[in-house]
């Protein structure tokens, strides 16, 4: 059964159709406006906020064909609705920025929603969700040169280690090159590592402490330098032991929409006490909460920081 995703409470001003039509018209008649918006964007001087924490929204799921949130398999399919949710969330106090693919970030640039924000571009989206080639996670979005040219603040890559899939070797190599290239540009390299395997033909991440320790250990050693590398990790059992595997700064990911948001918040709070954990990167859990109240979900996450 398909569950309709609740609409966000308090969307930004103006009609959704009007904003979507305006974006399409700009793209059709003035495509150079995107580069112009990137050039005049007001950048933050530092990644971390005054509290020494970083709160980012994640919006790179659609480019991998992952459109589900909660019980709705097509929750993220309406771009106007997604942009409403992102603009609302980005305007909340304590939200530092966003992670997304070029299409999403360029829409937000044209809407003027990224001034003073940390903006991280998603890089490898070629491992389409559910595909036979999912582990062969090609870099199909940003590269380091494009991120620097667009005056963004870093790049994010997904690294899934499947010992039974030879394509893992190619993904490892491409991620290592990306880490090196981002460091050469002076940009953050955000690596999201997992140990993965196939269950009934579908890729599943192994969320045990031992698996995450192995994934973090491999991700930490990628590239010619780790000076600009950050980790993006899930909350799993025994996080103190897991995070002891590296000295790199880490951000906690949100994952699927939680059945019990209070339990998810409690898990984030416990993990945020660890010295290497510097903040959150959360997407569907905040943008598509079960009650539709995006502002309240975002404010609760910010409070956890």
What average pLDDT values come out for the chain (305 residues) when binned by 10 residues? 44 70 96 98 91 95 94 94 97 97 98 97 97 97 98 98 97 98 98 96 96 98 98 97 98 79 90 97 94 95 92
Number of domains in the chain: 1
Q: Of 6, 121, 7, 130, nearest to 66 (Cα)? A: 130
Q: Classify residue 56: in a domain, yes or no.
A: yes
Which are the contacts of 232, defined by CB distance < 8 A and separation ≥ 6?
Answer: 156, 190, 191, 192, 250, 251, 252, 253, 281
pLDDT of residue 262: 85
Q: What are residue 214's phi and psi, to 5 degrees?
A: -65, -45
pLDDT of residue 244: 98
CATH number of the domain to which 287 belongs: 3.20.20.70
Q: Classify residue 74: in a domain, yes or no.
A: yes
pLDDT of residue 178: 98
Q: Classify residue 274: in a domain, yes or no.
A: yes
pLDDT of residue 16: 78
pLDDT of residue 255: 72
pLDDT of residue 258: 64
Q: Of 106, 194, 172, nearest to 142 (Cα)? A: 106
Domain encompassing residue 214: 16-304
Q: Classify residue 198: in a domain, yes or no.
A: yes
Q: Classify residue 10: in a domain, yes or no.
A: no
Distances in Å between the Cα of 66 and the Cα atoms of 53, 59, 97 are: 28, 11, 21
Q: Classify residue 98: in a domain, yes or no.
A: yes
Which are the contacts of 195, defined by CB distance < 8 A and separation ≥ 6?
Answer: 160, 161, 162, 205, 206, 211, 212, 214, 215
Q: Classify residue 8: in a domain, yes or no.
A: no
């Amino acid at each position: 059964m398909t569950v309709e995703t609740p609409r966000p409470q308090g969307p930004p001003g103006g009609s959704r159709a009007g904003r979507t039509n305006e974006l399409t018209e700009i793209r059709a008649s003035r495509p150079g406006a995107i580069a112009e918006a990137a050039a005049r964007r007001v950048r933050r001087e530092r990644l971390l906020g005054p509290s020494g924490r970083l709160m980012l929204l994640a919006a790179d799921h659609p480019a991998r064909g992952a459109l589900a949130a909660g019980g709705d398999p097509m929750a993220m399919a309406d771009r106007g609705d997604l942009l409403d949710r992102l603009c609302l969330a980005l305007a909340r106090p304590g939200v530092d920025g966003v992670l997304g693919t070029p299409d999403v970030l360029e829409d937000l640039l044209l809407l003027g929603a990224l001034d003073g924000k940390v903006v991280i571009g998603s890089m490898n989206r070629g491992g389409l969700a559910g595909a036979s080639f999912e582990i062969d996670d090609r870099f199909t979005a940003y590269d380091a040169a494009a991120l620097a040219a667009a005056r963004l603040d870093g790049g994010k890559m997904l690294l899934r280690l499947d010992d039974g899939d030879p394509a893992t070797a190619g993904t490892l190599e491409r991620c290592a090159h990306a880490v090196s290239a981002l460091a050469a540009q002076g940009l953050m390299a955000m690596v999201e590592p997992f140990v993965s395997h196939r269950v009934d033909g579908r890729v599943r991440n192994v969320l045990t402490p031992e698996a995450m320790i192995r994934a973090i250990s491999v991700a930490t050693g990628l590239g010619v330098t780790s000076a600009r590398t950050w980790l993006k990790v899930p909350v799993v059992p025994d996080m103190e032991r897991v995070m002891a595997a590296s000295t790199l700064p880490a951000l906690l990911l949100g994952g699927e929409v939680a059945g019990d948001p209070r339990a998810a918040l409690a898990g984030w709070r416990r993990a945020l006490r660890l010295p290497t954990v510097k903040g959150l990167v959360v997407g569907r859990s905040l943008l598509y909460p079960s009650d539709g109240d995006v502002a309240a979900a975002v404010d609760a996450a910010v409070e956890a920081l």
